[in-house]
């Protein structure tokens, strides 16, 4: 079940990436829902996903905290 939540989170983040505020809110939700090792995976995924989307860089700060 936990793996399904991680995949669902990635899907939601991809769909809301057009709006940086919404994207940041969804990242915050994900950090509350996911397990610690999934947060590590999410961090890696976020760095790759936002590599060419500078408007989403501010959301990476949430993961580093």
Other CB atoms closer than 10 Å to residue 12's CB: what's the count?
Answer: 16
**Number of structural domains in the chain:** 1
- Residues 1 and 8: their CA atoms lie apart, in Å, by 11
Q: Does the reported pTM lie above 0.85?
A: yes
Chain-centroid distance, C-alpha 12: 9
- What secondary structure letter does DSSP report for 40? H
Instruction: Check if the beta carbon of residue 11 is closer than 8 Å to that of residue 25.
Output: no
SS3 54: helix
Q: Domain range holding 16?
A: 2-64
pLDDT digits over 21-48, tens only? 999 999 999 999 999 999 999 999 999 9
């Amino acid at each position: 079940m936990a793996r399904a939540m991680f995949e669902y989170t990635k899907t939601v983040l991809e769909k809301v990436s057009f709006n940086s505020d919404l994207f940041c809110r969804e990242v915050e939700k994900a950090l509350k829902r996911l397990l610690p090792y999934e947060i590590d995976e999410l961090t890696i995924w976020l760095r790759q996903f936002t590599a060419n989307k500078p408007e989403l860089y501010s959301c990476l700060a949430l993961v580093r905290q």
